[in-house]
Chain A
Amino acid sequence: KAGVTQTPRYLIKTRGQQVTLSCSPISGHRSVSWYQQTPGQGLQFLFEYFSETQRNKGNFPGRFSGRQFSNSRSEMNVSTLELGDSALYLCASSLVGLAGQETQYFGPGTRLLVL
């Protein structure tokens, strides 16, 4: 089974621009979550989608948005980029097991640099 894939892997943008990141979950996984990882703030939850609906949202400004398509692929968008948005953006797909546990599998991430 292929793992979680994220595109692009690396991205350089300038302040004020917008960016769209893509995540393809593991086949059969319907839940996709996004995280931002920075040296200062660590790993922070952005949002989670399940069956095209946003199920949960972290404490990020409205500039950060996302969506999920019918094939479970997800995109996240950041508008009006700021220097502080430079980070590794990680996507995870998950499956609920028979015992009810939800296990997340992460992609390699997209490293975004804002200049």
Chain B
Amino acid sequence: GEDVEQSLFLSVREGDSSVINCTYTDSSSTYLYWYKQEPGAGLQLLTYIFSNMDMKQDQRLTVLLNKKDKHLSLRIADTQTGDSAIYFCAERGNTDKLIFGTGTRLQVFP
């Protein structure tokens, strides 16, 4: 079945780049998404990438997709304390359901 995995925790220093990784199993994924969840809040869509793209850049965010290895990453440049949150990757595959990863808790320290 479909499965999406992420590392649980990432800690970076303010100003550095953060890279959050995600792997998925569904080779028929059409769109892949990154969401951010702050404490007590819903999910905020950060960015998405179509499966025929390798890279997408949106201001401080860069998404890289390696479709062969089914690997997705989110790079946040110049990470700020306000970026501290849980980041979820999600894929939409042939079942048309959105399948979420386990989430990566990003902690940014000064």
Chain A, interface size: which category? 20 to 34
Q: Is A7 an interface residue, CB under 8 A from the partner?
A: no
Counting CB contacts under 8 A, is A49 at the interface? no
Residue of B35, B97, B102 near A56 (CB, 8 A) is: B97
Q: Please tell me if the beta carbons of B100 and A43 are within 8 angstroms of each other in the complex.
A: yes
Contact across chains for B42 and A90 when beta carbons are under 8 A apart:
yes
Residue A107 CB within 8 A of the other chain: yes
Q: A103 and B102 in contact (CB under 8 A), knowing A45-B97, A56-B95, A90-B42?
A: no
Count of residues in B whose CB is under 8 Å from the partner chain: 22
Q: Is there contact, CB below 8 Å, between A45 and B42?
A: no
Q: Say whether B55 faces chain A, with CB atoms less than 8 Å apart.
A: no
A45-B44 in contact (CB<8A): no
CB of B35, distance to nearest CB on chain A (Å)? 8
> Within the assembled complex, what's the spacing in Å between the Cα atoms of A98 and B99?
23
Select which of B31, B98, B101 is within 8 A of A33 by beta carbon.
B98
* Cβ B92 vs Cβ A102 within 8 A: yes
Which 4 residue pairs across A and B have the least CB separation, nearest first? A43-B100, A106-B42, A106-B43, A108-B42
A interface residues with partner B (beta carbon < 8 Å): 4, 33, 35, 42-45, 48, 55-56, 58, 90, 92, 99, 101-109
Q: Which residues of B contact A (CB under 8 A)?
A: 31, 33, 35, 41-45, 48, 50, 88, 90, 92, 95-103
